[in-house]
Amino acid sequence: MLQRMKYAQWFRTGRVRSADGTVVAYRAIGGGPPVIVIPGALAVARDFDGFARLLGARFSVHTIERRGRGESGDRPDAYSIDRECEDVAALQAATRATLVFGHSFGGLVALEHARRSNVYTKVAVYERASRPGPNGPRSRARSSRAAGSSTPSSPSLEARIRPPAGRRPGC
Assigned domain for 170 exists: no
DSSP designation for 164: P
* pLDDT on residue 171: 35
Q: Is residue 144 part of a domain?
A: no
Question: What's 45's domain CATH number?
Answer: 3.40.50.1820
Asked if the structure places residue 159 within a domain, the reply is: no
In degrees and rounded to multiples of 5, residue 69 shows phi and psi of: -125, 150
158 backbone dihedrals φ, ψ, rounded to 5°: -110, 135
Domain containing 117 equals 2-131
CB 112 within 8 A of CB 119: no
Q: What is the DSSP string of 61-105?
A: EEEE--TTSTTS---GGG-SHHHHHHHHHHHHHHH---EEEEETH
pLDDT at 148: 52
For CA atoms 141, 80, 129, 42, the dihedral sign is negative
SS3 144: helix
User: What is the structure's pLDDT at 137?
Assistant: 53
Residue 139 within a domain: no
Per-residue pLDDT of the chain (171 residues; tens, 9 = 90+): 334 445 555 899 999 999 999 999 999 999 999 999 999 999 999 999 999 999 999 999 999 999 999 999 987 777 899 999 999 999 999 999 999 999 999 999 999 999 999 999 999 999 987 767 666 555 444 444 455 544 443 333 333 344 445 544 443
Number of residues that make up the chain: 171
Q: What is the pLDDT of residue 17?
A: 97
Note whether residue 91 is domain-resident: yes
pLDDT recorded at residue 164: 45
Q: Residue 87: exposed, middle, or buried by beta-carbon count in 10 A (0-12, 13-18, 19+)? A: buried
**For position 40, what pLDDT does the model report?**
95
- Return d(Cα 92, Cα 75) in angstroms, integer: 20
Other residues' Cβ atoms within 10 Å of the Cβ of residue 19? 12
What domain count does the chain have?
1
